[in-house]
Structure 1
């Protein structure tokens, strides 16, 4: 089995760094392993060495043994003072060494540049950039530039016009929404759409201002009723009862019919093109 070069780092929780004479002696004892001794980020002591091993487990076991042996030889520490160790490949060690100590940061000007927008629009993204916030300064927030780039690539759309979050609809819910939009616009929906026939049979015609659809009374357990309830829940449509004046022009048997109209949100989510759909150039995240 070919061996791999590993770096083993061992941490010790101590209050004082050993004298230079002891550190020099440890260096001499472990010189063949390219050892280094220094202070750890937490204030203790760190000892690193390189050695070839069959696996990370083998490297860790031997590395800890060699380091503890050298320290105990000079009566520096007791084994229980070791707080932990890490084993990484030499390649990973070099990669970490090449990383900047301070990551690239981004203020609001940089956020605007990365997202391709204005600083005014960038300032409106603060809540969505919160996961990448490093510090809030008097001059404004500071973010991890890498996080802002990830946000710009995966979550933020710079396309003008309406942006929306897709609402999952069943085939009959989609057929009902599109049929309502098409009826209001005076167009047709392809009859191949799943659930189209049931929806088509339920629509009586257009009433009111010409953009409202009369929906024939449906039993509570019908699939059209269930689909309508879903559209109402998502705010895609609104309903009302038939007005008395409208009833005078209808044949008997329509007293319990509903008048359904699409909301602006419903128009945006329908596949059919209605006169009101796409009329607004404002951004909308719904």
Structure 2
């Protein structure tokens, strides 16, 4: 059932909103902020951004969890080097997997025998699984729960926005006009669902010249004009660097430069929530 007291949106909604509220909470859990990480399309680095954000928040002393809501393409376990771990199922709920730094993680890959096992499910079953990852997992006390959403505006994104008390969403894009158009769809979806858009992170924004520090733009696109029109802040621009690319193959522990590049973005998100 919905619980206003444990809902981060409790002071933002009116009586009519509460009457139609579909949000469900586990009384064991106390999660202060839930941030969805979205993208209009795949391949823009959404999961990498989710991992960098979670680790930087942990580094700052917050209690953090990641919910991998990309059921058909879960990549969070591998990004964190946890692909061989399994979640524990108890009568009271599901115990998430813990990373070495204490980060709590839940993904469908923690419930299957092999990570290459395909998920051949229809939309309602996938959406129901994501809902259970919120209501049945023992997240307990968290300052931040990062929800890595699948690309697009389908069943999972709709379920998360309806069932989970999102504090806001962060959009991930790349500097191409076509992608900006698709991201606009995701932004408009969030607005229609009364979910705050905290800002956009532009990934693969440029390449830094190692000799002269010149920023070389690889794609044509004017994301600043697009964001000004949509009244959405640009949280930051991430370059194409080996440190960020290697998060996928070597994990976050080998990405000190990536963490340094990402820290200003984390600071803006924290400030936005304050």
Q: TM-score, normalised by structure 2?
A: 0.22
Between 1 and 2, higher relative CO (CA 8 Å, sep ≥ 6) is seen in: 2
